[in-house]
Amino acid sequence: SRRIADDDPKWAEYLGIIDQEVRTADRIITDLLEMTRTRKPSRELTDLCDLARSAFDRVGETDRVRLTLSTRPDPFLVDVDPQQLRQVLTNLITNSVQAMKGRGEISVVAHSEGEFDVIAVQDDGPGIDAEAKELVFEPLHTTKAKGTGLGLPICRQIVERHGGSIELAEPREPGARMVIHLPRGKTTMTDQEAG
């Protein structure tokens, strides 16, 4: 049988491939574990803009990406589990940064509508084609070489745990637009309507 010499440069290439595959498997396992957790949201009043900035800071390769925030009112308080909603925003912003290839603008816009807080995350990337639109929330569906296909299903699971919904909406400008509806807590309603 053939053997590769210990000093053959192919060893480094093979080890690099193994390392990359292990990282991918680790990412998939981490995402699958997150999906199987049924932790009930631990809600507290949280400033949405603070969460969005924190999520943006967690995403790499944003040197040439601009984040804009627009809320009515400001501060915009949401009755959520801050860690869970930050994860949703981190996943959405990561998708946008990757779609825009690390250059462009992401806007987070929020307002109250009846008994819901409405949060829209819009980017100015290439958008999502019609065929992919039907499948974006399906587990393990991905168009990315390094994607796990679990980011958006996790987002949906977290939002639904909060009694809300998330959908891919028609963008108002070129790009992709995700819209989250979260039920407003009595505290947020009183505070924001009083302001």
- Tens of pLDDT, residues 135-191: 676 755 555 545 555 778 889 989 999 999 999 998 777 899 999 999 997 655 555
For residue 137, give every residue at least 6 positions away whose Cβ sits within 8 Å of its Cβ, in sequence order, or none. 152, 153, 156, 166
The predicted structure's pLDDT at residue 145: 46
**Residue 139, SS3 per DSSP:** coil
In the chain, what are the helix, strand and coil shares in percent, each to the nearest 5? 40, 25, 35
pTM of the full predicted structure?
Answer: 0.75
**Residue 116, SS3 per DSSP:** strand
The predicted structure's pLDDT at residue 43: 94
